[in-house]
Amino acid sequence: MTTTLLLLADTHVPKRARRLPGAVLDAAGAADVVVHAGDWVDEATLDLLASRASVLHGVFGNNDGPELRARLPEVARFSVEGVSVAVVHETGQTRGREQRMDEQVPGVDLLVFGHSHIPWDTVSPGGMRLLNPGSPTDRRRQPRCTMMEVTIDGREIDARLIEVDRDR
């Protein structure tokens, strides 16, 4: 069986974007699982994604207030087709990230994170896949806004970065 995940982070609605782009909402409706790695900023975004997603896993980020923190965990863990997944907002500085995450979240096959708005796809020395989808609404120093589609087939994890037109 193949499972498709949509990875999102750092949507920052309505502070850095008025709304989620249509491409994000379309992808959320098509995915088997939607994962959001924090910095939603408002509850309406959480409610909107929850209404579109078949399954939604998310965490709060450093820009999320008490209402979101009351509804979301700091770390989310779940399993997809025998693949152990963890979601966090922040992993600290780039240097040493893979080794640090091996120590902080042992036994995880896939770690989804956000905070930097910079897409990231690496494998730790312990074999953990680390993915950051960037941001679909606030590209910061990146050339484009992004999200990520992940396909899990058995224990195979395939990730594809998708550019997002913020105005669509």
pLDDT 10s digits, 11-32: 999 888 889 999 999 999 999 9
Query: What rounded mean pLDDT belongs to the chain?
Result: 96
Query: Does this model's pTM top 0.75?
Result: yes
The answer for residues whose C-beta is within 8 angstroms of residue 47's C-beta and 6 or more apart is: none
Interval 87-104 mean pLDDT: 97
CA dihedral over 15, 46, 63, 58, signed as positive or negative: negative
Q: Note the pLDDT of residue 168.
A: 64
CA nearest neighbour of 11 among 56, 42, 34? 42
User: Contact at 8 Å (CB) between 38 and 64?
Assistant: yes
User: Contact at 8 Å (CB) between 21 and 165?
Assistant: yes
User: Contact at 8 Å (CB) between 77 and 55?
Assistant: no
CATH architecture of structural domain 2-164? 4-Layer Sandwich (3.60)
- Assigned token pair, 31: 């995915």
Strand 33-36 versus strand 2-8 pairing type: parallel
